[in-house]
């Protein structure tokens, strides 16, 4: 439920949202092919980790949440927008383990491309959709309403829904959602037991070999940098200490124009960025994948951006040949009722700092999932045709 609190600016009344408040159709603003979320007040809740203990409340936020300047956190504590166990505390307050930390802020979500979340197939207990590139599957990080789950709830009244697999934010294609937790568990058990076959299509650099290629190389994902690497055995005994996980992907060329190729990708395992890094390993990275095309990438810590966004800022963008965007609404919505918050570090812009909405989806698209007695498919994207 929404709760009302007296704001720090006198008697200004603020309605604070929590994860219990569902997204609404009117929460979205469409401009120039980009979907924005109208900024809103939100209560973030966390519990103090052991490593936070002994830090002052301001030092904690300045060290752990670098997206805002230290001065903001000082002001937020003084104004009561940062609280401990539901109480206003001084800036010198020292945090103890497991305490409830609340951060009441004016939330600006990153923009995404304004493509429809197209419903492909409906059953009593299953819905399949074509996920647009740039839209996360479910709430994570700075995204809550600008997600597939949020958009389906706001625009199609679909809730609750349970994604049974995930696609990276920049990847498009088939997404299967269960209508119940028990159905989701049934799907996940089939996936974990290896009964489910997954197929993707990618557009890669160069002339991909005609014969089937199998990348059977361990993948090591660096969460800090948001990037995976392939581990190759070396050393006198042919082995070295490994941090990577076993990974296998099969690739088959569908077509080529002599410069780029369309490739069918069949991951046997499911590691983070597995297809992307295995294609790089084979010498044919995805043709617009800045993260795995570039030798030198700005570290993701720059401006607190994701690894893909940091990579895009470090290199000249490669624009897809088909960039037509379908906007769900015929006209842009006015934003005159967007209230500017005097303490917000992102106002008066719709998007948070560092997110200009100028990005393209990867040329990687999920086309098919199949398991015991079932198959779900998604149409090929426009870029999969080289003609």
Residue 378 near residue 130, CB atoms below 8 Å: yes
Task: Report the phi/psi class of residue 238: left, alpha or beta, with left for phi > 0 and alpha for psi in -120 to 50.
Answer: left
First-to-last C-alpha distance (Å) of the chain: 53
Rounded to whole angstroms, the Cα distance separating 65 from 245 reads 30
Task: Report the phi/psi class of residue 373: left, alpha or beta, with left for phi > 0 and alpha for psi in -120 to 50.
Answer: left
Rounded to whole angstroms, the Cα distance separating 293 from 158 reads 38
Token reading at 267? 């991951």
Catalytic pick among 59, 116, 168, 332: 168
- Give 252-256 contacts, CB < 8 A, sequence gap 24+: 252/212, 252/213, 253/208, 253/209, 253/210, 254/201, 254/384, 255/386, 256/207, 256/208, 256/386
Residue 287 near residue 203, CB atoms below 8 Å: yes
Rounded to whole angstroms, the Cα distance separating 303 from 201 reads 32
Residue 276 near residue 267, CB atoms below 8 Å: no
Token reading at 172? 């498009």
Q: Which CA distances in Å does 323 have to 45, 328, 351? A: 39, 16, 22
Is 125 a known active-site residue? no
Opening angle at CA 128, ends 127 and 129, nearest 5: 125
What residues are labeled active site? 168
């Amino acid at each position: 439920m929404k709760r009302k609190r007296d704001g720090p600016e006198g008697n200004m009344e603020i309605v604070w949202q929590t994860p219990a408040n569902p997204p609404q159709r009117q929460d979205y603003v469409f401009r120039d092919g980009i979907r924005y979320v109208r900024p809103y007040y939100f209560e973030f809740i966390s519990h103090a980790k052991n490593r936070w203990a002994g830090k002052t409340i301001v030092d904690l936020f300045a060290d752990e949440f670098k997206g805002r300047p230290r001065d903001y956190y000082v002001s937020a504590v003084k104004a009561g927008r940062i609280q401990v166990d539901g109480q206003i505390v001084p800036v010198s307050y020292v945090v103890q383990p497991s305490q409830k930390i609340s951060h009441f802020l004016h939330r600006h979500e990153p923009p995404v491309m304004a493509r429809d979340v197209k419903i492909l197939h409906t059953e009593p207990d299953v819905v399949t959709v074509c996920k647009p590139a740039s839209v996360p599957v479910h709430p994570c990080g700075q995204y809550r309403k600008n997600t597939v789950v949020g958009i389906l709830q706001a625009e199609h009244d679909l809730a609750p829904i349970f994604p049974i697999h995930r696609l990276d934010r920049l990847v498009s294609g088939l997404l299967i959602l269960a209508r119940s937790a028990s159905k989701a568990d049934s799907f996940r058990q089939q996936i974990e037991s290896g009964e489910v076959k997954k197929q993707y299509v990618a557009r890669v650099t160069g002339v991909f070999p005609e014969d089937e290629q199998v990348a059977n190389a361990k993948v090591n994902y660096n969460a800090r940098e948001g990037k995976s690497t392939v581990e190759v055995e070396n050393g006198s005994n042919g082995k070295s200490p490994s941090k990577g996980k076993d990974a296998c992907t099969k690739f088959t060329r569908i077509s080529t124009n002599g410069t780029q190729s369309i490739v069918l990708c069949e991951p046997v395992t499911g590691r983070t960025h597995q297809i992307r890094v295995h294609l790089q390993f084979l010498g044919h990275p995805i043709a617009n994948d800045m993260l795995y095309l570039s030798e030198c990438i700005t570290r993701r810590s720059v401006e607190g951006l994701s690894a893909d966004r940091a990579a895009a800022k470090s290199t000249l963008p490669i624009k897809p040949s088909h960039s037509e965007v379908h906007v769900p609404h015929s006209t842009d919505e006015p934003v005159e009722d967007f209230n500017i918050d005097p303490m917000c570090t992102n106002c008066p812009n719709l998007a948070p700092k560092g997110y200009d909405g100028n990005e393209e989806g990867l040329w990687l698209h999920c086309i098919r999932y199949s398991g015991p007695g079932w198959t779900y498919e998604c149409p090929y994207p426009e870029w999969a045709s080289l003609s």
